Copies of this chain bind each other. A is one copy, B any other.
């Protein structure tokens, strides 16, 4: 894949990138929030361009929103030599990248991730897509952006809850691939973490994994630690009142505790490691209120996970602090116990 990721002030990285190739037209894709808070930071460094703004939030990561984007691209008469610049979090990156990858069978795009979550996770690795009928990332393609321009300055535009959510993927990267870094971050409170260092660390781990297995035939599945049950919890909460909605990282934190428990039950990690993970994640994220009637729904939702094969639900589980195994078949009974463990 050799994906280009640049961590630098956008005022340097963007002009640098644009000088590399002559684009016929440029279109920026943003949402309501990033148009107001992030686009002004970029605008000064862009030549003539157009912008399409979509409503913010996962609820709009749909085919209907893609149609609006494709309509704007068509109206602008973008040809195959045009560039799409996605300015936003994971939703904009995934959806805008998907729209670019499908328009005229694919035009160039770059990601300007503006949330911690998208900086450390979504923007790297070439997974693009949208939700369909309530299933997350059910439609999509693999396609790598021409570049990912990460500027920590955008984090200043974010509410703290958003940063805390992104931190969950940093924790995940440490847990699956770097035990020493895990010890380092768990020794600090959330407020003491050093973002530029952690962003670079996470990007590096993700790139190393993705380089070895771009289309997730094997190893890449370790990036899904915490995500099988985490996604199911996230989807389950989508149908709840807005004030109970979970941010992605909050759901993944739940999933990581449950899946650390599964790892423990399978004797893949010891009691102390489980306790460390659980204490750190509860201290950082608190406990999410999962109701007894949610449990079977969460288990049922894991059936749509893309790692499954046939009727088997396959997990990526820790085989140590800093190590992860994949393609581990887990039963509904085990999942039930792991949810019960989380609920305590």
Contact = CB atoms under 8 A, between A and B. Distances in A.
B103 A139 contact: yes
A103 B67 contact: no
Interface in A75-129: 77, 79-81, 101-106, 127-129
A306 B25 CA distance: 14
Contact of A102 (B127, B141, B304, B308): B141
Nearest to A303: B77
A133 B306 contact: no
A40 B128 CA distance: 37
Contacts of A133: 71, 74
A43 interface: no
A106 B74 contact: no
Nearest to A127: B105
A303 B79 CA distance: 9
A138 B106 contact: no
A309 B80 CA distance: 7
Contacts of A101: 141
A17 interface: no
A139 B78 CA distance: 13
A128 B74 CA distance: 18
Interface residues of A, number: 37
A140 interface: yes
A47 to B, nearest CB: 14
Contacts of A24: 309-310
A75 to B, nearest CB: 9
A63 interface: yes
A128 to B, nearest CB: 8
A132 interface: yes
A135 interface: yes
Nearest to A128: B105
A142 interface: yes
A306 B105 contact: yes
A140 B102 contact: yes
Given A70-B132, A105-B306, 6 more contacts: A24-B310, A102-B139, A104-B306, A105-B137, A105-B141, A105-B142
28 contacts: A24-B310, A25-B310, A70-B132, A70-B138, A74-B132, A74-B133, A74-B135, A74-B304, A77-B303, A77-B304, A79-B309, A79-B310, A80-B307, A102-B102, A102-B139, A103-B138, A103-B139, A104-B138, A104-B140, A105-B127, A105-B129, A105-B137, A105-B141, A105-B215, A105-B306, A106-B141, A106-B142, A106-B215
